[in-house]
Structures are given as structure tokens and as C-alpha cells.
Amino acid sequence: MPPLVFPPDFLWGAATAAHQVEGDNVHSDWWAWERRPDTPCPEPSGIACDHYRRFADDIALLAGTGLNTYRFSVEWARIEPAEGTFDEAAIDHYRRVVETVRAQGLEPMVTLHHFTLPAWLADRGGWRAPEAPARFERYVRRVVAAIGGAVEWFCTVNEPGVVAFGGYLGALGFPPGTRDVAAWKGAIRGLVEGHRRARAAVRELHPTARVGATHSMQEWEADQGGRPVMEYLRRMNEDVFLEACTDDDFIGVQTYTRVRVGLPTLVGPLARLALAVPPLESALVPLTVRRETRRASEQAPAGASEPAPRDRGSGGVAGALGRDGERLTQMGYEFRPQAVAATVRRAAALHPGRPIVVTEHGVATGDDAERVEFIQQGLAALHAAMADGVPLRGYIHWSLLDNFEWARGYEMTFGLVAVDRATQARTVRPSAHLLGRIARSGRLEP
């Protein structure tokens, strides 16, 4: 079989997000959330990967593999720790990060909001607060004025669907932890408006930059009984945001797995629903999806109770299988690298002709050979989509480093580079070398 050839100007990268790697993000909502007595987080983020200090070494590691792009986020809570007070030292820090990325010959891709909010805004309702979109715009203007000249790719909001669903509907253990449909819908409105304002601000200050949101998209599969629920979930988690992005310069697609919604899946939650009072929407959605994304270690029946707070789970269960015999990752997701090609095809169908970048794709595993397989299979499926005309411009792997995986803590290892939690020592994994070789040659050997 001949090698699969990718275009010469393809973006090949690895991603991080500030809160997950920098450490000591003390002015953020997540920092407070991790410390609440009822937090779902098994451990606090703490010093994380100490990337705030070690960024230059980490960027050098990335460049050394052969990749050409670094996607990272700037942290609103550091830049504006109190309302209207902008920290020039923090802004300078990100200026240095961008300079370092450029000096290493890499393309910077900057995310302006990756899940975290400054605590002062969270205290007022976060994305539900009427002033949130305008405050976001004001912060974005400061950032773009400082670093915009050197950055050609901006992501406004990372996975707005996950922010709304995971935090405001309380489905993923994210702050603010409300379990309320009105809060969920209010957050969706705020995120959409925030994205639009940020996009307009980037365009005004830096007209040649490319700006877009990044979308969490699943390869959905439903049997006839599950179809209405699947369509509802897909609409609320993906389509409302994709529709708000018809004017973006690119569509960022982030896919980890396939989600199957079947009638048997719904039987447990529906039986519970019959006994419970909460409104259909609010109860149905988290229950059904939790069943699909359950931990590998839980293996609980559909609709089983939530994980106990601070239950660490067993993390990387090697060789764990799901109910239907499917391979599971540490996250409890189905191991399905090719899911990303299904979502990229869907994004292309919804936005014909618009450039697409896979801004995240990765796997939590304790066995790097699985990551190698995940990358190879994912890229082969993406190549086939490109051959069918999908305008894919890049592939950015999640993540550069093992890091703080939100409400799942440090046991989930997504890194191309391993991080020793006790010593902070980095070890470049074979998967990083593989992806770097593909990037350098532009070829995937079958």
C-alpha cells in the first residue's frame, strides 16, 4: 500500500489548556471548585505541570518531535484577576510564550477561553450573567492587542457545549454544578454571544487572523428508540453552536469517541424517571449520557448512582471492555479513533467549503502503544475524508503533556509526553516521535 500523503502546509500540533498544565491558577472558578467540600474532583490541580515556569522547555520538546503547531490557552483569571484590573505581568508572560513558540519555528494557535472563568465572574453567575459576553470581549481585546500581531489562529471558546452541559446542567462535574435547564440554556446564550463578540474583536484588531470556536463533537449512533434523545442531545450540545459559527474562518473539531444511544440504554434512566419528579429534560440528559461515558472501572448498570465525591476510580484499567465488548479507554470511552472522521465529515456537510481543523483528538491510556494505534487509525480515517473533499487544514493532538483532566484528576494520561508528578520530569513517548515523523514527512505509512 502506498503511504497516505498530507498537504505540505498542514498544521501538525499538540494542545494544552492553561488550567490543566500551568499550575496555581488561584483566581479561577476551577481553583475554588476543586477545594469545595463537595467537589467531584478527586484531587486539586495544584502546581499541575508547572508549565507556567517550564513553558520554554515544553515548547522545545514539542518542536523537537517535528510538529509545527502549538495550541495553548491564555488564562483570563490570571490576566484579569479582579474585575477591570488587568495584570500586565501576566500579559507579558503570554507575550513571551508566543515569542518562544515562534522562535522554535512553530505556529501558535491561541485559545481565549478554555473552560475556566475568573472567580469574580463565576460569582455573578458565570456565562449566565448578562454582562459575561461584554466582559469576555473586553478581556479578548486586551489579549489580542498584546499578542495579536504574532498569532494567526485564534480559538474563541473551547467546547461551549461541554461548558454549558458539563457545568450548568451539572452533567460532567464542572462548575458551577447547577442542575437546571434554565441555567443550561442561559449559559448557552451567553457562550454564543461571547463567541460572536470575541470573533468580532479579533477581526477588528487583527483582520488577517483566522478565528473560530472549537466544538466537542461525538460520533453519535442511535437505534430507532434512542434516536429522538440522540437528536436532542446533538442539537443542544453541538448544533446550536455550529449554527452560531457559520461565519467563522475555520471550524475546530474535537472528538474522542462514539456515543451510542439505544433504547436499552434508556430503560434504566426512564424507569428511574417514572419515580422521580424532575423535569424530563434535566433528568434524562445527564442520566443517559453518563451511562455512555461511564468510567471503565465502574461497569455499573444503566442509570446507576453517580460516582461518590472524591472517588478516585481505578484510572487506567488495561484491557477494560464495555458492555458490548468494545475496548474502553481510561475515561471509559469506547476506543474509536476513527470517530473523528465521522465528525469532520458532519462539520463539512453543515458548513460546506469552510476550512476545518481537528483542534483536539486523543486518548487516555496507560499504554502508549494504544496511543500510537489511535493516531494512526485516526489519521487514516481523516485522510479518507480529505480524499472525499473535506477541507481539513490540520490535526492537533490532545495533549502535549499528561495533565489535570478536570473532574477526573491526574489519573487520566493523555500526553504525548509523560509527566512525573513527583519530580515534574518529562519523558517524550514513542507516540510523540511517531506523530512528529508523520508531520515532518507529511506521510502516514500504512
DSSP three-state, residue 316: coil
* H helix count then E strand count, the chain: 16, 14
Burial, 123: exposed, middle or buried (Cβ in 10 Å; 0-12, 13-18, 19+)?
middle
Pick the closer one to ligand FCB by CB: 162 or 242.
Answer: 162
Contact call for residues 169 and 181 (beta carbons, < 8 A) = yes
How far is 224 from 207, CA to CA, in rounded Å? 47
Nearest to 406 by CA among 28, 36, 40: 40
Q: Least distance (Å) from ligand FCB to the CB of residue 18?
A: 10
Q: Which is nearer to ligand FCB, 262 or 394 (CB)?
A: 394
Give the span between the Cα atoms of 217 and 252, in whole angstroms.
Answer: 10
Q: Are 207 and 246 in contact (CB under 8 A)?
A: no
Task: Judge whether 75 counts as a catalytic residue.
Answer: no
Q: Which is nearer to ligand FCB, 18 or 302 (CB)?
A: 18
Q: Which of 34, 80, 159, 370 is catalytic?
A: 159
251 and 212 Cβ atoms separated by less than 8 Å: yes
Q: Which is nearer to ligand FCB, 206 or 397 (CB)?
A: 397
In whole angstroms, how close is the CB of 295 to ligand FCB at the nearest point? 14
34, 360, 405, 411: which is the annotated catalytic residue?
A: 360
**Shortest gap between Cβ of 397 and ligand FCB (angstroms)?**
11
d(CA 414, CA 371): 9
* DSSP E strand stretches across 308-419: 356-360, 392-398, 417-419
The site for ligand FCB (CB under 6 A) is made up of: 17, 20, 158-159, 162, 216, 254, 360, 398, 405-406, 414
Q: How far is the CB of 46 from ligand FCB (least distance, A)?
A: 17
As measured in angstroms, the least distance from the Cβ of 3 to ligand FCB is 29
Per the annotation, the verdict on 405 as an active-site residue is no
Taking a C-beta distance cutoff of 8 angstroms, is the pair 67, 106 a contact? Answer: yes
Which one, 180 or 405, has the nearer CB to ligand FCB?
Answer: 405
Catalytic positions, written as ranges: 159, 360
